[in-house]
């Protein structure tokens, strides 16, 4: 039996090893399909990152499909049952790096647009369709979606509705969508002491000893209680480094990395102020560097959330869970522009893992959901 159009396109994309920030021609392949549908495709390259902005239609609200062509490295090839870029289908499963995250979604987005446009529904002519695709999502995300949104804002172009194709589902396609994401705030802390001999501690100042009560207090704090949409803010220590490698030397410094995933109940300014207050109370000699990856965002109940949930139920029979759990996505750059943002994609059980794979039939289901979503918005979006 021949592969479906969605599966075939997903395989073509997976066979291009586009490890961040490389695109390896994926966006050109997508642009060719979109141009055949009447999309105006614009390449936006910033530094070493390829971005694609494509629009179909002249007026009316716009539904944008957003995603990324870059993938994380495949890792040790010996651990893979099949070549990570062969896009092999075996026992109904599509294997390969990017199958779930997120070349499968990209293929489903394209074929959904092809199917919806082929129906020639007059209402679709009042809804513009768009694609915002980058090759810099898995990396530092400095020259991808963020830069495209900045450029569009400068030109006065507004996104009304956006579907991000990140793998949101857990056990079945459509069982979970993301209606927002927590913010991400990282810190690199250096606690300074004085190096010395372990036999003469009175002549030294051990920064590890100074760090221990502070880190215990830090990890024991309650930052907020969360709310109906978000779980409480959490802090996790990710790295601790100190010492010279010798067991008879008190180190001169201790470095600690930690990260907040924070709800809308806290701002990054509040979090940094609380941390600074704690450190100062312990009379530490320290320096700290902060990096804000993204503010929390939440799409309020409205047309996009309603249309997405309805489309999933009509195609699959599932009542989707509307969640804000998980990591960050490029939705954090799109939501502040005023767009309603929902993340909907395939199952995420094997993303970033060796032997990444998804059920091949899920791609057709996802394409049908996207197609139905287009139809809902074409019928209901305000003109």
Binding residues for Zn(2+): 68, 101, 138, 166, 352
- Is the Cβ–Cβ distance between 208 and 251 less than 8 Å? yes
Active-site residues, by number, are 70, 137
Structure tokens at 227: 């709310």
User: Among 131, 147, 118, which Cα is nearest to 37's?
Assistant: 118
- Cite the annotated binding site by residue number: 68, 101, 138, 166, 352
Structure tokens at 248: 């008879």
- Is the Cβ–Cβ distance between 295 and 364 less than 8 Å? no
Bridge partners, 339 (sequence order): none
CA 231: distance to chain centroid?
18
Bridge partners, 53 (sequence order): 42, 132
List, in order, residues 6 or more apart from 272 with CB less than 8 Å away.
Answer: 185, 290
Bridge partners, 160 (sequence order): none
Residue 86 has φ and ψ, to the nearest 5°, of -85, -20
> Which CA distances in Å does 3 have to 55, 85, 87, 94, 363?
28, 17, 12, 11, 11
The CA angle 318-121-107, to the nearest 5 degrees, is 55
Rounded CA-CA distance 162/339 in Å is: 7
Render 9-45 in DSSP notation, one character per residue: HHHHHHTS--BTT--TTHHHHHHHHHHTTT-EEEEEE
């Amino acid at each position: 039996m021949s592969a479906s159009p969605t599966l075939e396109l997903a395989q073509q994309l997976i066979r291009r090893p586009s490890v961040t920030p490389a695109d390896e021609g994926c966006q050109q392949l997508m642009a060719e399909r979109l141009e055949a549908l009447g999309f105006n495709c614009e390449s936006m390259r910033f530094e070493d990152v390829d971005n694609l902005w494509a629009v179909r239609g002249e007026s009316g609200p716009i539904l944008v499909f957003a995603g990324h062509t870059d993938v994380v490295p495949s890792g040790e090839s010996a651990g893979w049952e099949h070549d990570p870029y062969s896009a092999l289908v075996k026992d109904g499963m599509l294997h390969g790096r990017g199958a779930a995250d997120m070349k499968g979604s990209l293929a489903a987005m394209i074929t959904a647009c092809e199917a919806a446009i082929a129906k020639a529904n007059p209402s679709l002519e009042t809804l513009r369709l768009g694609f915002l695709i980058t090759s810099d999502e898995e990396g530092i995300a400095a020259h991808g979606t963020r830069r495209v949104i900045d450029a569009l804002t400068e030109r006065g172009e507004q996104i009304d509705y956006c579907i991000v194709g990140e793998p949101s589902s857990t056990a079945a396609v459509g069982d979970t969508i993301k209606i927002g994401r927590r913010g991400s705030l990282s810190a690199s802390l250096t606690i300074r002491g004085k190096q010395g001999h372990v036999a003469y501690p009175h002549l030294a100042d051990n920064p590890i000893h100074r760090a221990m009560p502070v880190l215990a207090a830090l990890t024991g704090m309650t930052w907020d209680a969360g709310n109906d949409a978000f779980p409480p803010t959490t802090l996790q220590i990710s790295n601790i480094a100190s010492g010279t490698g010798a067991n008879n030397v008190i180190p001169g410094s201790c470095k600690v990395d930690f990260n907040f995933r924070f709800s809308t109940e806290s701002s990054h300014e509040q979090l940094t102020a609380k941390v600074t207050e704690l450190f100062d109370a312990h009379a530490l000699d320290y320096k700290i560097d902060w990096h804000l990856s993204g503010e929390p965002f939440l799409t309020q109940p409205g047309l996009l959330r309603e249309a997405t949930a309805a489309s999933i139920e009509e195609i699959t029979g599932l009542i989707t869970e509307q969640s804000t759990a998980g990591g960050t996505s490029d939705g954090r750059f799109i939501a502040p522009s005023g767009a309603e943002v929902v993340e909907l994609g395939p199952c995420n059980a094997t993303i970033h893992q060796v032997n990444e794979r998804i059920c091949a039939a899920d791609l057709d289901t996802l394409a049908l959901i996207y197609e139905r979503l287009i139809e809902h918005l074409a019928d209901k979006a305000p003109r």
